[in-house]
Amino acid sequence: MSVHVPESVPGAGAGPPAGRAPRAGEARVTVEAAFAAAPLEPRARLLTALAGLLAAVLAALIGLTWHGGLVLLVGAPSLFVVVLAIPLALSPAGYAVGQRELVVLRRGLRPLVFPLGSLSAARQTAMPRSARLPGSGGLFGWWGWFANPGWGRFKAYATDRRQGVLLEWPGFKLFVSPEDPEGLCGAVVARRHGPAKGGRP
């Protein structure tokens, strides 16, 4: 398994790694360790089920109200895309660790790359109650930007807030929730000073 990452910046410590999707033509990084995302916690499963039910009900109402025409043709599929397909595409499916990168794999979009060269800490923890900034608050998981008094502003790509890993760079934090938090934590710490092969998101 390999993931495209940029090769224009040899060191991974220049600035906080906000994460970005690699572009075509960038260098490949061989994945040395892969971690599945934890199963959705019960609250997220409930919220996702309710959102699916709501989308189905609204689509049925559109069908009953408009018996054909452009509204029915465009309205029902658009509702499904907005309510379910987009959040699903952005949600985390798993995590991969290369020689000097952490990669967040997303279900429908290209992966996000976070260089480990300047990683200052990684620890197992739960995600505290946080204010949601742009992102998802439980629909197919928690992804996007969040903030709380203890951590400040941070990014999350998680499916279970109760157990995960908080990764800290100077000026940036990322919370992830692999099935094996201890394994991912050890993998990123072991590789943060590895051979320079990464880039800046």
pLDDT of residue 153: 96
pLDDT of residue 61: 67
Pairing mode of beta strands 92-97, 112-115: unpaired
Q: Is residue 11 part of a domain?
A: no
For the segment 10-31, the average pLDDT, to the nearest whole number, is 52
Q: Is residue 50 part of a domain?
A: yes
Question: Containing H/E element for 77?
Answer: helix 70-80
Q: Is residue 10 part of a domain?
A: no
Of 6, 188, 21, 200, nearest to 99 (Cα)? 188
Q: Is residue 5 part of a domain?
A: no
pLDDT of residue 140: 83
Total count of domains within the chain: 1
Q: Is residue 4 part of a domain?
A: no
The residue assigned the tokens 């429908």 is 108
Q: Is residue 149 part of a domain?
A: yes
Distance CA 104, CA 164 (A): 14
Burial (CB < 10 A; 0-12, 13-18, 19+), residue 135, is middle
Q: 103 lies in which domain range?
A: 29-194
pTM for this one? Answer: 0.72
Model confidence over 113-158: pLDDT tens digits?
999 989 999 999 999 999 988 887 778 889 999 999 999 999 999 9
pLDDT of residue 23: 52
Q: Is residue 66 part of a domain?
A: yes
pLDDT, averaged across the chain = 77
Distance CA 19, CA 5 (A): 11
Q: Which residues pair with 137 in a beta bridge?
A: 142
SS3 85: helix
The residue assigned the tokens 């008094």 is 149
Q: Is residue 7 part of a domain?
A: no
Among 50-54, 73-77, 196-200, the minimum mean pLDDT is found in 196-200
For the segment 145-172, the average pLDDT, to the nearest whole number, is 95
